[in-house]
C-alpha cells in the first residue's frame, strides 16, 4: 500500500487527525508516568523484610500496676520463658520494634569519636537478647551471635551504650566503605563517643520504616529494656502460628492480671499496612490508565466511523474502480498507524518532559527507558484494534454506492 | 430564538445517540477523575483555624546543635523542650498560651467483665480548649488553677464518654487510669479538625485524642511522650535528666489579643533566649519563629507529594477527554457542512450558527457536568476503598457544595472550550463550496 495518497488525504482535513494524534500523545504521557510510579511502588512493596514473615507474629504487653524494676525484669523473663517453652515456637524475643512496623528507634553512627564529626550514618536500632537473630530469621554471614553474657539489662539513670553490635551487610557497606575484608572486629561510635564493636554481620534485616531511603540499614543491640511496655516477637514452626496466637494471649493474660495484651498482629498485616499507600496508589493509577485507554480507544472508533461514513461515496468509487476489500481495510489501518506514530513520537517527548518536571518537584525516581517503547507498542495496538471495526465496515460498502448521488 | 437552538441541539444530539453519549461520558469521566483528586487535595490543605490565622501562633525556639541546624536551611526545631515550654507558659506573656504532648494510659472501665484498654491522650493546659475552639457538650475545661495543682481531672471526647458512661452527662463522675482515679470535668461535642493543626508532628489527619489531662499532672507522674521526640546530645538517664535536657517533644502555641502584638511577643522570646544564653544554653544564633496556622500547615507539608502527582495526571486525563470531545464535535460539524452551507446560503449569519452550535456544546457540557458529579462521587468512593486501611480516609473524601459547584463550572467551561474550535470551523464554512460539489 502506498503511503503517499493516504498522507495527502490526511492533509486535506488535518484538524481531526491532529486531535487524535494529540490525544494519543497525552494518553501516552499519562500512561508512561503512571507506569513509572506503579513500577517503583510495586518494586518497593515486593522487597523482603528479612523476617520469616509467614510464621512470625508480634504482640505488646502493657503492665499498669506499680512495679519496681526487679519485678518488671522477672515478669519479662517469665513471659519469654513461657512463650519459648510452648510447642511450635521456634524462638521469641522482647524488642523495641521490628521491620515494617513504621515506628522505631534510629541513631547516627560515626567512625570517629567526638561531637564535631559531621559524617554520620543512620541506622535502625533493635534492642534484643541472644534470641534476636533466630527470631528475626537473620542469617549470620560473618562473625557470630551475641553470647548471653554480652546481653545486659538497661540500667536506670545510666545511658551507657552496649559495647557490642550485630549489623546488617548494607549498614557495613555504608559505614565502612573502604573495607574490603570482614566488618567483624571493627569499631564505630554512637552518642558522640561510646565505642561499639561489630561482633557479627547479618545478611538482611530491614529498618521499621519502608519509606526510608536507608531501609536496609539496621543493627541489633544486646540490651534488654526495663519498661512496663514490652513488645514480643514470636517465630513459630510452619503451621503453628494461628493456633499459638490465641494460646499465648490467654496464657499471658492469665499469668498477670494487671496488664493488657494488645497489638497482636501477624506480619502479613504489618506488611499490608506498611505498604498500604503504595498498593492503593497502584490501584488508582492502574484504574486511571485503564479508563484512559478505553476513552482514547472509543474516541478513535468514533472518529474512524465518522470518516468512513463521510467517505462512503469515495470508498464506493474506489471499490467500483477495482479496489479489493483488504485494500480498503488496509487503507484505514495504515492511516491510523500513521496518526498513532505521530502521536507516540510526540507522546514520547511529552512523557520525558513530564517525568523531568515530576522528578524535580516531587520525590520520584526517573523513568526507565524501556517504558517508552512499551507504551508506544501498546498505543499502536490500541489504535489498530479500535480502527479494525470501522475499517471492516468500510470494506463492506458496495461499489454500487458510487452510482448514487448522496 | 434560544428555544429554537435548544430544539435543534436536542435533535442533533438525538440524531447520534452513541456519539453524544460518548462525548457526555468522556467529559463526565474527565471531570470525575479531576474533581476527586481536587476534592481530596482541597480537604487536605484546608485550614480549620483560618478565622484565627492572625492571632494564633506556633512557637519555635532554636536550641539545636551549634554545628548543624535542625533542618536545612537553618530551621529551628518543630517542638520545644520541657524547660522552655514550662518557663514560657509560666511567664504568661501572651493573651493565651498552651503546651501539650501526646502520651498514653491504660483505662480500666468499671464493672467486673470490662477489659482494660490502652488509649492515647493529650497532656495539655487549660487554654488549649479555648485557643483551638474545642466545643463542649457537658461541663468545661479545667480551670487554670488545675494547671498548677496537679489535680486529677480529665476531659473526655464524646466518643470516650459514650464508651465509658454511655453518653450521659458524666461531669463529676470518676474514671480509672493506671489504677488512679480521675474526675471528669468536661465532655467534648463532636470535634474533628482536618488537618489536626495543633499537632502535625505525627499523622495530621488522625482523630484528636479522646482524653485530655493537665500537663503538670502528666509530668509529675513521669509519663513519657508517645509522639515525636528528638535530641541532639546525650541526655543522661532517667526522667529528671530528660526534663532538664535539650530534647524537644512539646508543642507550644500562643494566642495574641490582636495581630499587632506579634512583634512584641517575638521580642519577648528573643529576650528569653538571650537570658538563657547567659546560662550556657542556646548555642546557635537567635532564630525564634512564630508561625500562623496557615504558615505551619505549609511548613509541615501536610499535603502529600503523591497528591500533586495524581493531580497533574488527573488534569492531563481531563485534557485527553477534552481532546476526545473536540475531535468528535469537529467530525460532527464537518459531516454537517452541507446543512451549514445550505443555511448560510439561505441567509443564516455566522453569529446565528455560532449560537446554535455553542448551545449544543453547552447542553453536552451541562450533561457531562451533572454526570461528572456522579463520577466524582464514584471516584471518591474508589479512593476511600483503596485506602480503607486508613481509618481517617472518610474525612478526606467528602464533597462540600463548593466542590459540587466547581465540578459543574469546570464541566461547562471544559465543554465550551472544547466546542470553540469546532464551532469556529462550522461558522467558517462558506455558503457556496459544499453546495457546489454535490
Cell numbers at B373, concatenated = 458529579
Q: How many CA atoms lie within 13 A of A337 on its CB side?
A: 11
Tens digits of per-residue pLDDT, B99-141?
999 999 999 888 777 888 889 999 999 999 999 999 999 999 9
Check pLDDT > 90 for residue B254: yes
Distance CA A245, CA A144 (A): 31
Closest residue, chain A, to B65 (C-alpha): A115
Q: What residue spans of A159-266 are helical by DSSP H?
A: 169-175, 241-255
CA B122 to CA B251: how far, in whole Å? Answer: 11
Q: For the segment B191-250, what is each residue's pLDDT rounded down to a tens digit?
A: 988 889 999 887 788 889 999 999 999 999 999 888 888 888 777 777 888 899 999 999
pLDDT at B296 over 70: yes
Confidence of residue B380 (pLDDT cuts 50, 70, 90): very high
Mean pLDDT of chain B: 88
pLDDT at residue A314 greater than cutoff 80: yes
C-alpha span between B289 and B273 (Å, rounded): 12
CA distance A363 to A365: 7
> Residue A19 and residue B334: Cβ atoms within 8 Å?
no
Q: Report d(CA A75, CA A81) in Å as an integer.
A: 10
User: What's the alpha-carbon Rg for chain A, to the nearest Å?
Assistant: 33
Q: What is the average pLDDT across A87-113?
A: 91
Q: Is pLDDT larger for residue B233 or for residue A394?
A: A394
**Mean pLDDT of the A74-95 span:** 95
pTM for the model stands at 0.83
Cell matching residue A68: 519496681
Spatial distance between the Cα atoms of B417 and B413, rounded to a whole number of angstroms: 6
Is A71 in contact with A267 (CB distance < 8 Å)? no
pLDDT more than 70, % of chain B: 98
Whether the Cβ atoms of residue B415 and residue B368 lie closer than 8 Å to each other: yes
B237 with A260: Cβ contact below 8 A:
no
Confidence band for A3, pLDDT divided at 50, 70 and 90: confident
Angular region, A76: left φ>0, alpha ψ -120 to 50, beta rest? alpha
Please count the CA atoms within 13 angstroms of the CA of A181 that sit on its side-chain side.
5
Contact B29 A37 (CB under 8 A): no
Task: Give me the helix-helix angle, B350-386 and B401-427, nearest 10°.
Answer: 140
Helix H or strand E segment including A26:
helix A14-45
Contact: B323, A273; criterion CB under 8 Å? no
Per-residue pLDDT, A405:
58
pLDDT number for residue A104: 85
For an interface test with A, give the residue of B203, B320, B382 to mutate (most A CBs within 10 A). Answer: B320
pLDDT digits (tens, 9 = 90+) for B47-61: 999 999 999 999 999
More confident residue, B379 or A160: B379
Cα–Cα distances (Å) from A3 to A136, A306, A316, A338, in that order, read: 65, 21, 20, 9
- Decide if pLDDT at B434 tops 60: no
Query: What value, to the nearest 5°, has the Cα angle with vertex A343 and ends A338 and A345?
Result: 95
Q: Do B306 and A281 touch (CB under 8 A)?
A: yes
Q: Name the H helices within A267-311.
A: 267-274, 276-310
Query: From the CA of A140, how many Å to the nearest CA of chain B?
Result: 31
Q: Give the tens place of pLDDT for each residue, A238-285.
A: 999 999 999 999 999 888 888 889 889 999 999 998 898 889 989 999
CB A202 within 8 A of CB A168: yes
Beta strand extents in B46-159 (DSSP E only): 56-60, 96-108, 117-124, 136-139, 153-156
ipTM reported for the complex, 2 dp: 0.83
Asked whether the predicted pLDDT for residue A18 surpasses 80, the reply is yes
Tell me if residue A124 falls in helix, strand or coil: strand
Residues of A with Cβ-Cβ distance to B235 under 8 angstroms: 159
Q: Are A342 and A349 in contact (CB under 8 A)?
A: no
Q: Mean pLDDT throughout A221-234? A: 92
Contact yes or no for A405 and B438 at CB 8 A: yes
Q: For residues B258 and B55, is the Cβ–Cβ distance under 8 A?
A: yes
pLDDT at A9: 79
Let me know: does A361 contact A40? Beta carbons within 8 Å.
no
Q: Which of A234, A268, A229, A267 is nearest to A249 (CA)?
A: A234
Name the residue facing A288 among B317, B330, B334 (closest C-beta): B317
Spatial separation of the C-alpha atoms in residues A96 and A107, rounded to whole Å: 14
What is the domain partition of chain A in residue ranges? 3-46+276-403, 53-269
Q: Strand A194-202 relative to strand A164-168: parallel, antiparallel, unpaired?
A: parallel
Radius of gyration of chain B (CA): 31
Mean pLDDT of the residues in chain A = 89
* Chain B contact set for A298 (CB, 8 A): 22, 26, 324
SS3 B156: strand
Instruction: Tell me what percent of the residues of chain B surpass a pLDDT of 90.
Output: 46
The Cα A400–Cα A182 span in angstroms is 87
Question: In what helix (H) or strand (E) does residue A187 lie, and over which residues does it extend?
Answer: strand A187-190
pLDDT tens digits, residue range B401-422?
888 888 888 888 888 888 888 8
Instruction: Say yes or no for a CB contact (<8 Å) between A192 and B233.
Output: yes
Give the position of cell 534470641.
A131
With CA atoms as reference, report the closest residue to B369 among B361, A293, B44, A276. B361
Q: Which of B235, B331, B428, B437 to mutate to test the interface with A (most CBs of A within 10 A)?
A: B331
**Per-residue pLDDT at A299 exceeds 90:** no
C-alpha cell at B16: 447520534
Mean pLDDT of A321-333: 89
Amino acid at each position: 500500500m502506498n503511503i503517499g495518497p493516504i498522507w495527502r488525504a490526511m492533509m486535506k482535513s488535518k484538524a481531526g487527525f491532529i486531535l487524535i494524534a494529540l490525544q494519543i500523545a497525552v494518553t501516552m504521557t499519562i500512561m508512561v508516568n503512571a507506569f513509572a510510579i506503579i513500577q517503583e511502588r510495586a518494586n518497593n512493596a515486593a522487597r523482603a523484610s528479612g523476617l520469616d514473615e509467614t510464621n512470625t507474629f508480634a504482640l505488646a504487653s502493657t503492665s499498669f500496676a506499680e512495679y519496681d524494676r526487679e519485678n518488671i525484669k522477672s515478669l519479662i523473663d517469665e513471659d519469654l520463658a513461657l512463650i519459648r517453652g510452648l510447642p511450635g515456637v521456634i524462638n521469641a524475643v522482647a524488642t523495641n520494634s521490628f521491620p515494617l512496623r513504621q515506628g522505631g528507634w534510629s541513631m547516627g553512627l560515626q567512625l570517629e569519636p567526638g561531637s564535631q564529626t559531621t559524617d554520620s550514618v543512620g541506622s535502625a536500632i533493635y534492642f534484643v537478647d541472644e534470641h534476636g537473630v533466630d527470631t528475626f530469621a537473620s542469617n549470620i554471614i560473618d562473625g557470630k551471635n551475641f553470647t548471653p553474657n554480652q546481653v545486659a539489662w538497661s540500667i536506670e539513670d545510666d545511658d551507657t551504650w552496649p559495647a557490642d553490635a550485630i549489623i546488617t551487610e548494607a549498614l557495613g557497606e555504608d559505614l565502612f566503605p573502604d573495607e574490603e575484608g570482614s566488618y567483624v572486629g571493627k569499631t564505630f561510635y554512637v552518642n558522640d563517643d561510646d565505642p561499639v564493636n561489630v561482633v557479627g554481620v547479618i545478611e538482611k534485616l530491614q529498618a521499621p520504616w519502608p519509606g526510608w531511603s536507608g531501609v536496609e540499614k539496621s543493627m541489633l543491640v544486646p540490651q534488654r529494656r526495663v519498661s512496663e511496655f514490652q513488645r514480643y516477637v514470636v517465630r513459630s514452626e510452619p503451621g503453628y502460628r494461628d493456633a499459638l496466637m490465641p494460646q499465648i494471649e490467654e496464657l499471658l493474660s492469665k499469668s498477670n492480671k494487671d496488664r493488657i495484651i494488645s497489638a497482636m498482629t501477624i506480619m502479613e498485616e504489618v506488611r499490608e499496612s506498611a505498604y498500604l499507600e503504595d498498593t492503593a496508589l497502584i490501584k488508582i493509577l492502574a484504574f486511571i490508565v485503564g479508563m484512559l485507554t478505553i476513552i482514547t480507544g472509543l474516541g478513535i472508533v468514533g472518529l474512524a466511523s465518522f470518516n468512513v461514513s463521510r467517505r462512503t461515496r469515495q470508498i464506493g468509487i474506489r471499490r467500483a474502480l477495482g479496489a479489493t476489500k483488504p485494500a480498503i481495510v488496509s487503507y484505514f489501518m495504515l492511516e491510523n498507524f500513521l496518526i498513532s506514530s505521530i502521536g507516540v513520537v510526540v507522546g514520547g517527548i511529552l512523557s520525558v518532559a513530564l517525568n523531568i518536571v515530576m522528578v524535580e518537584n516531587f520525590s520520584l525516581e526517573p523513568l526507565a527507558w524501556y517504558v517508552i517503547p512499551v507504551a508506544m507498542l501498546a498505543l499502536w495496538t490500541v489504535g489498530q484494534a479500535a480502527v479494525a471495526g470501522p475499517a471492516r465496515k468500510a470494506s463492506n460498502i458496495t461499489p454500487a454506492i458510487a452510482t448514487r448521488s448522496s | 430564538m434560544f428555544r429554537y437552538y435548544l430544539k435543534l441541539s436536542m435533535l442533533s444530539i438525538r440524531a447520534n445517540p452513541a456519539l453524544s453519549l460518548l462525548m457526555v461520558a468522556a467529559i463526565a469521566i474527565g471531570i470525575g477523575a479531576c474533581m476527586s483528586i481536587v476534592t481530596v487535595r482541597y480537604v487536605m490543605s484546608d485550614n480549620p483555624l483560618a478565622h484565627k490565622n492572625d492571632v494564633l501562633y506556633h512557637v519555635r525556639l532554636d536550641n539545636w546543635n551549634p554545628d548543624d541546624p535542625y533542618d536545612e536551611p537553618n530551621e529551628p526545631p518543630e517542638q520545644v523542650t520541657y524547660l522552655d515550654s514550662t518557663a514560657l507558659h509560666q511567664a504568661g506573656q501572651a493573651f493565651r498560651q498552651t503546651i501539650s504532648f501526646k502520651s498514653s494510659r491504660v483505662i480500666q472501665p468499671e464493672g467486673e467483665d470490662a477489659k482494660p484498654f490502652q488509649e492515647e491522650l493529650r497532656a495539655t493546659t487549660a487554654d488549649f480548649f479555648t485557643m483551638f475552639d474545642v466545643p463542649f457538650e457537658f461541663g468545661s475545661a479545667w480551670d487554670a488553677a488545675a494547671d498548677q495543682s496537679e489535680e486529677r481531672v480529665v476531659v473526655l471526647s464524646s466518643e470516650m464518654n459514650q464508651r465509658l458512661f454511655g453518653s450521659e452527662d458524666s461531669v463529676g463522675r470518676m474514671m480509672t487510669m493506671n489504677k488512679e482515679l480521675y474526675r471528669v470535668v468536661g465532655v467534648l461535642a463532636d470535634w474533628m479538625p482536618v488537618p489536626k493543626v495543633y499537632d502535625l508532628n505525627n499523622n495530621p489527619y488522625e482523630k484528636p485524642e479522646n482524653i485530655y489531662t493537665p500537663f503538670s499532672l502528666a509530668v509529675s507522674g513521669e509519663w513519657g511522650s508517645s509522639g515525636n521526640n528528638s535530641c541532639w546530645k546525650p541526655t543522661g538517664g532517667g526522667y529528671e535528666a530528660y526534663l532538664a535536657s535539650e530534647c524537644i517533644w512539646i508543642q507550644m502555641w500562643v494566642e495574641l489579643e490582636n495581630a499587632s502584638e506579634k512583634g512584641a511577643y517575638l521580642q519577648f522570646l528573643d529576650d528569653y533566649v538571650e537570658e538563657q544564653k547567659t546560662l550556657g544554653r542556646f548555642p546557635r544564633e537567635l532564630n525564634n519563629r512564630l508561625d500562623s496556622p496557615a504558615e505551619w500547615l505549609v511548613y509541615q507539608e501536610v499535603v502529600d507529594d503523591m497528591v500533586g502527582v495524581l493531580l497533574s495526571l488527573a488534569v492531563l486525563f481531563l485534557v485527553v477527554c477534552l481532546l476526545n470531545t473536540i475531535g468528535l464535535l469537529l467530525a460532527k460539524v464537518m459531516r454537517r457542512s452541507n446543512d451549514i452551507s445550505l443555511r448560510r446560503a439561505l441567509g443564516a449569519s455566522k453569529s446565528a450558527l455560532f449560537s446554535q452550535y455553542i448551545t449544543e456544546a453547552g447542553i453536552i457540557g451541562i450533561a457531562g457536568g451533572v454526570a461528572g458529579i456522579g463520577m466524582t462521587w464514584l471516584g471518591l468512593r474508589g479512593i476511600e476503598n483503596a485506602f480503607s486501611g486508613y481509618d481517617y480516609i472518610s474525612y478526606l473524601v467528602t464533597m462540600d457544595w463548593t466542590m459540587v459547584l466547581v465540578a459543574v463550572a469546570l464541566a461547562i467551561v471544559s465543554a465550551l472550550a472544547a466546542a470553540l474550535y469546532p464551532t469556529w470551523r462550522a461558522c467558517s464554512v462558506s455558503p457556496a463550496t459544499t453546495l457546489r460539489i454535490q
